[in-house]
Amino acid sequence: MEITILEKTEHNIKFILEGMDVAFANALRRTMLTRLPAMAIDEVLVIENTSVMYDEMLAHRLGLVPLTTILEDYNLPDKCDCEGKGCSLCQCTLTLEKEAGDEEIMVFSRDLSSQDPKVVPASGDIPLVKLAPHQRIIIEAYARLGRGVENAKFQPVATVAYKYVPLVTVDKSKCTLCGDCVEVCPKKILRLNGNTLATQNTLDCSLCEACVEECEAGAITIDSKPDSFLFKVESTGSLPPEEIVVKSAELLKERVQVALDFANSL
């Protein structure tokens, strides 16, 4: 297995995975989506809420706010010594207290004050509710680790997708340089360069094969590289994208081991 990182930003990572089949690529994708734990608010105690928004709606919005997660610091509630009742090892309390003066105000996710400075909203600019003059909210929220299988708010990723690595080849002896394929390509992969048909940014190719259909001479072939995948992982901000990939691979390995142990015990 070989991984080549193409692009890495704060929330995104793009890499090529080589030497693995579809089954593995999809298993990795699904592990990232549904098995990797992340923190999210799960229980909300509304002490006071005079805003125009219902308590339930407010609680739902709070649950969707991504929280930065340190996986080593917290236990999953079902694996915690407290047996899921909620203790300081598996739960983090966040409080929100805000009152509007004579002007209306917007309550943002940054107004949530956390008991643990490492578990804070990944983005402070998420509007939660707007308060009319003299309205007030006092809220206590309990965040815990959870998995994507349970609720999508626990997913550390927004999207994880993979596609085949495209291979665009032009047969120069057949090409008539008509330029029809250049027009038809939605991703602008093909380009007429003097008297040759050149390719550019081939990784952007969506494998639609519009150029193959357009080319009467049959000079273009679109193929995909065997056992190679182009992955795109987009984090919600709860975990850094590279950590998501590494931790998911470890989790997948553990789960495969469990399956193997079971098979061997039969």
Partner 1 sequence: MIIPVRCFTCGKVIADKYEQFKREVRQGDDPAVVLDRLGYNRYCCRRMLLSHIDIIDNFMAFATTEGVEQR
Q: Which residues bind partner 1 (CB under 8 A)?
A: 50-53, 57, 61, 64-66, 104, 109, 122-127, 129-130, 132-136, 152, 155, 157-159, 234, 236-237
Min dist CB 158 to partner 1, Å, is 4
- Measured from the CB atom, the residue of 166 and 237 that comes closer to partner 1 is 237
- The residue behind tokens 């309550």 is 107
Dump the DSSP string for 191-227. EEETTEEEE--GGG-----HHHHH-TT--EEEEEEEE
- Measured from the CB atom, the residue of 52 and 258 that comes closer to partner 1 is 52
Min dist CB 159 to partner 1, Å, is 5
- Measured from the CB atom, the residue of 15 and 170 that comes closer to partner 1 is 15
- Measured from the CB atom, the residue of 21 and 204 that comes closer to partner 1 is 204
Min dist CB 109 to partner 1, Å, is 8
Q: State the sign of the Cα–Cα–Cα–Cα dihedral 43, 46, 51, 52.
A: positive
Q: Which residues contact 123 (CB under 8 A, 6 or more apart)?
A: 65, 66, 109, 237
Contact 160, 29 (CB under 8 A): yes
Contact 33, 148 (CB under 8 A): yes
Min dist CB 186 to partner 1, Å, is 14
What pairs with residue 199 in β-bridges?
A: 190
Min dist CB 182 to partner 1, Å, is 23
- Measured from the CB atom, the residue of 61 and 191 that comes closer to partner 1 is 61
